[in-house]
Chain A
Amino acid sequence: MARAPLTPGLGPVLEFDAVGVRMPRQVRRRGGGRRQRLRRIAGETRRDEVWRLRGATFSVAEGESVAIVGGKGSGRETLLRLAAGTLIPDEGAVRRRVAVVPMIDVARALQRGFTIRQNIYFVGGLLGMTPDEAGDRVAGIAAFSGLEGSLDKYLGTAIPMVRQKLAWSISMATEARAYAVEQVLVVGERDFRQQCWTRVDQMRKDGVTFLLASDSPRQFRRFCDRAIVLEAGALVAQGTVPEAIALFRESRRRGQDTPPEEPETSTEESGGPL
């Protein structure tokens, strides 16, 4: 029943076994939406699908922080969603020993029409908190995000930074043993970012596992033990963070001459350290 089934006896925290997933292509096609839809109903065209990730095999041990290095469209968000189980693979299998909390644009799920308290219940619920747990943690979340005074105010048009901070605090309050983080390892203004760092460093020390996708090499260097390099949906390499960043930079330079096209022809040279 549950979206992300767990495998209790698993050795590593998370294990990808030749995982592949097709996703609908997101570019707009010619010929108007209505006509396209009619065609699709008539069975003339199948919607284009591309392999967003294919042949990914790796595993993550308890307490590791793994950097997912790759540019836009390399499949890193797909990988994180698969890890958390909010996406089901078309081939291969994802096994996890503990629940993995997806921190993927959590702020977008906040509801304007709800109060901050209701949002904590709602988004916390999405991320796997029971109502009782959410109730217990409301105070802590409010304190961390500095919103104690406005718990029962509607979120309404709160500025993005407030939304980000609230989303971050809720996600971390799930007290999960593993997180799949897209971009938002630390958010907010300088002071708040410092608070975030303190918190995640502490969690890391406590053996919490992180998967981090980001555009910031600095975050990778500061936070991650090792790295996985993604390129056009294929797992190109695994290794240390500096190696991975170097590889990524080099491939990007090459990519400017010949843009990486056709993710379908993904080379399955997954695994294997550098």
Chain B
Amino acid sequence: MLVLRDLQTQYKKFRLGYLWTILEPLGMSVVLWFVFSVLLGARDLGLQPYLLFLSIAILPWWWFTRGISATTRVFRRKGGQLRISLLPTELWILRVIASTMIEFLLSLPVVLLAMALTKTLPGPLIVFFPVAILVQFFFMYGLGLLIASWSVVVPDLARIVRIVMRALFYLSPVLYSISNIPAQVQPFAAFNPLVGILGLYRIGFWPEEIETVGAYAISLGICTATFVVGIIVFRRLEPRILKEA
């Protein structure tokens, strides 16, 4: 409840900027689409229509990077708030993930726009779209707990995370589909939790993606594991976090 209140007050500040939550990912999709599809003419990259293919993955990707990089800072410079906070410490992380999620939800019209531009309609498997959101939420919450508590102990983690994020962008099927990568590498891709999540987002438009369902299962399993590990690590490091406050 408090998180909601918190979000409200935060959003009041940024309401003017709402358009940007749409324009930014849209711009990014268009640029990437232009580079890869038009300039390089990579017809076999990803699935068609490429613009929609891109935008549907870029939005969750943005949510992911923003949320996770924010969690590295979540316990910094809190101005003594943690010293007096009687609220559960997890709430600080939940708040970051939730507010970035709302930003993500608000930017979803970009997908509608891409659908309109490419005149594509989703199949019945689109029901997995909300499931994907849910899975991503829990995955991010777990990872956020993990990273937030670790970065209190190791302040450099923020920078490491930034680099890992950059690498992960290219290692995840945002620009391409996992059917694009060589067959012998595909099993390894399954260990990237984002493969499963992004796959769930796309499955409504490209039902043929379901072939790789085995890979999804593994990467969703990793999501669950991350969630559990995150909670355990956070429990152990919570006293430490409070001491640094």
Q: Taking beta carbons and an 8 Å cutoff, which residues of A are in contact with B?
A: 1-4, 21-24, 37, 40-41, 81, 84-90, 99, 101-106, 108-109, 113-114, 118, 121-123, 125-128, 130-131
Contact = CB atoms under 8 A, between A and B. Distances in A.
A71 B124 CA distance: 70
Given A113-B13, A121-B5, A3 B87 contact: yes
B5 A125 contact: yes
Nearest to A52: B243
A88 B156 CA distance: 25
B149 to A, nearest CB: 13
Interface in B143-167: 154-156
Contact of A87 (B80, B81, B155, B242): B242
Contact of B156 (A37, A90, A118): A37
B238 A101 contact: no
17 contacts: A1-B88, A3-B86, A21-B243, A86-B82, A86-B86, A87-B242, A102-B84, A108-B80, A109-B80, A122-B6, A123-B84, A126-B81, A126-B85, A126-B86, A128-B87, A130-B2, A131-B5
Contact of A85 (B2, B13, B86, B156): B86
Given A37-B156, A41-B156, A125-B2, A108 B13 contact: no
Given A37-B156, A125-B2, A130-B1, A105 B86 contact: no
A231 B83 CA distance: 22
Given A24-B244, A118-B9, A41 B86 contact: no
Contact of B9 (A21, A86, A105, A114): A114
A88 B83 contact: no
Contact of B87 (A23, A81, A84, A125): A125
Main secondary structure of the interface of B (DSSP, over half): helix
A235 B154 CA distance: 33
Interface of B: 1-2, 5-6, 9, 13, 79-90, 154-156, 238-239, 242-245
Given A23-B243, A125-B5, A126-B81, A4 B156 contact: no
A103 B83 CA distance: 9
Contacts of B6: 122, 125
Given A41-B156, A105-B80, A131-B1, A88 B242 contact: yes
Contacts of B90: 1
Contact of A24 (B1, B79, B243): B243
Given A24-B244, A114-B9, A118-B9, A104 B238 contact: no
Contacts of A122: 6, 9
B242 A86 contact: yes
B163 to A, nearest CB: 15
A108 B79 CA distance: 6
B137 to A, nearest CB: 18
B93 to A, nearest CB: 13
B227 to A, nearest CB: 16
A113 B6 CA distance: 13
A101 B156 CA distance: 34
Nearest to A47: B153
Given A88-B239, A104-B83, A105-B80, A40 B154 contact: yes
Nearest to B243: A23
A2 B6 CA distance: 18
A126 B6 CA distance: 11
Contacts of A130: 1-2
